[in-house]
Structure 1
């Protein structure tokens, strides 16, 4: 479970650090190590990356995009393969990595906010500890909420105007997963949403949307760009809002990858034009930050020898500053920072610093709305 040291950091320090990290543009890095660690080679080896979600979701898309590039960036150019272990909102695969992950540099775990949130909320399914892992790379990202045209909703403003006339169904992998950002957002807009639990990832939720089983969905940017934009172009999905991104002052702004969409702060203001900001919105913002500033990460066990860890980090740093990679990454993942070395470490520590008061607020909200006892 998270240590008291992490939990007791001041929130203002956390927000300042997170804002600075999130506001950086891709390619602006202070590379702390420019020379590959001598003597470490992965030639002839096979690297296995555990993805604790089904194929087709945001973390799977992200991992499969990075895999061949990482293989080429590492000395010896090993084969990098993906192994999907879905279940428990990602806790099954993360627990297995915690038990069986080898510290030889050939085992990695890919995580997302759906791995972070159960850990932060002391979910009883969690048998892993982020303090037992060393981060190799962290990716910021965004997310988009969209609906079926069958709802009759055509925009965020339309949603606010018709919120009492439409009910929604949302296919979820669990209320304590990354889905809580979308579910809490819709609750704060005073909409009626029935969550259908049991999905093994956001990819499964999207497929339920495509089959017409639900009429509301959300995806992280990588999955949205690759899987949902075609649905929008075919008139099968109506985007409502993005969650937004933080500027250097910690203010929520429109996501530059979706500039035509209002961010959630704008939509919240539409729904509550004359109200002061409620506690629920403040908590939403903290979990949005915790879930999206370092939304996806690669880890190795902390017991991995330092020269191997540094080789991984140096290779990742070299990769994310390569112009060819950056061009392709923007197309597939969106224009977000890819953090390595000290910046990845700082992002990891910051996102694990959600204060106890906010954690308890979320626990009570989950219990009240979904009877979720963590």
Structure 2
């Protein structure tokens, strides 16, 4: 079977395009490495509120430089400043650790609530709060939310020669569907684990791969038979293989089907029991608010409103949308109220369902 092998380069090119456009170039070439100042464009409209004039806004990113969260934050930082009265400078700072929990805790406990610091962390941290995970030092309902960047959909793909052409083929199968993963706590590992528990799918998860590019290489060499990760990345890395039929989408996880995958079922629609559907709904909820941006609790209302409005206006900015389209970055922002509503719904998940989910993710 022939695979398109340009996929990894497509991802690197996409990241490089946005990183370069958004001030993400290599150190020493007009860039200061992981922490980078992104000058704002001229203010869009005049306003009597000049608090932000001459100020620097710190944008904390809970994951490594060069990844999807970092790329999204830099894209936002390039365009958001012109919608903030006073034309402040936005500085992007990476603060990775514990799956972005370090940054989430920092924003909640350490950062000053003056409107000059906000950040983005992995939405899965909210689910982990609901599960009572160790090391959570925040209450997600109390952040000063700005909004989220888009709704993520997780898709599982299988090699055509694996023998699995739909997710139902894995249920009760005599041989497992072998998928690659970066490790526990990631979509690549957690979603297959939940499918195993909720659907009875015979799936074996092989961890330790370096990013989705590493999983893609393992799939191409038949080291594993497939994998599960975000459609935003997958349509770039595996788009040609899907079109050629070398890779087959088995199932997707999200609030609704991707328009590119109308015939691929949602996992929740495949589930047979109320308990299974509830578990899948819980694990889907974080993706609805993918890449959430928050400021510390207690930001003055007037300043927070300015940031919230600027956040949404930036995602509608023509130049931002053009850059996102070129880099194949999905844009589908949600406002602060929508994010908070999803957070509250997730934290109110039945304890029995959360216990089942926790057990599923811990299963070997």
Note closer, same or farther for the CA distance 1:284–1:73 as it changes in structure 2 (3 Å cut): same
Once the 2 structures are TM-superposed, how far is the Cα of residue 321 of structure 1 from its aligned partner?
A: 4.8
How far did 1:159 drift? 4.6
Which residue of the partner structure matches residue 211 of structure 2?
205
CA distance in 2, matches of 1:311, 1:325: 19
Please say if 1:258 is aligned against 2:254.
Answer: no
- Matched with 1:29 is none
Asked whether the 8 Å contact 2:146–2:336 carries over to 1, the reply is yes
Q: Structure 1 residues 140, 335: CA separation in 2 closer, same or farther (over 3 Å shift)?
A: closer
With over 3 angstroms needed to count, the CA separation of the structure-2 counterparts of 1:189 and 1:305, relative to structure 1, is same
Aligned 1:304-323 pairs, distance under 5 A: 304-321=299-316
Match of 1:75 in 2: 85
Partner of 2:201: 190
Q: Which secondary structure does the structure 1 equivalent of 2:299 belong to?
A: coil
Structure 2: how far apart are the matches of 1:292 and 1:123?
18
Q: Quickly say closer, same or farther: Cα 1:302–1:312, change in 2 above 3 A.
A: same
5+ long unaligned stretches in structure 1: 1-34, 247-253, 270-275
Q: C-alpha deviations, 1:111-153, integer Å up to 9, x for none?
A: 3332112111111121222244110112441323244638625
Q: Alpha-carbon deviation of 1:265?
A: 3.9
Counterparts of 2:162 and 2:188 in 1: how far apart (Å)?
26
2:345 is aligned with 1:350: yes
Aligned residues of 1:70 and 1:316 also touching (Cα < 8 A): yes
Question: Residue 21 of structure 2 corresponds to which residue in structure 1?
Answer: none
State the partner residue of 2:120: 110
Contact 1:42–1:74 (CA under 8 A) maintained in structure 2: yes
Q: Give the structure-1-normalised TM-score.
A: 0.69
Separation (CA, whole Å) in 2 of partners of 1:36 and 1:180: 47
Give the 3-state SS of the residue equivalent to 2:181 in structure 1: strand
Is residue 37–residue 310 contact of structure 1 (8 Å, CA) maintained in 2? no
- Matched residue of 1:219: which SS? strand
2:358 aligned partner: 363
**Alignment partners' CA distance in 1, 2:188 and 2:342:** 17
- Give how far 1:358 is off: 1.3
Contact 1:50/1:110, CA 8 A, preserved across alignment: yes
* Structure 2: stretches of 5+ with no match in the other structure: 1-44
* Match in the other structure for 2:37: none
62, 71, 80: which is aligned to 2:72? 62
Contact 1:43 1:77 in 2 (8 A): yes
User: How far off its partner does 1:291 sit?
Assistant: 1.5
Q: What secondary structure sits across from 1:256 in the alignment?
A: coil
Q: Structure 1 pair 141/124, CA: closer, same or farther in 2 (3 Å)?
A: same
**Displaced runs of 4 or more, over 6 A:** 233-236
Q: How does 1:237-252 map to 2 (within 5 A)?
A: 238-246=248-256
**Pair 1:219 & 2:229 matched:** yes
Higher relative contact order (CA 8 A, sep 6+): 1
Give the C-alpha shift of residue 284 in structure 1: 1.4
TM-score by length of 2: 0.71
CA RMSD between the two structures: 3.6
CA distance in 2, matches of 1:104, 1:85: 20
The 5 Å alignment of 1:115-154 reads 115-147=125-157, 149=159, 152-153=162-163
**Cα distance in structure 1, aligned partners of 2:173 and 2:47:** 57
Equivalences, count: 314
Aligned position for 1:4: none
1:158 deviates by: 8.2
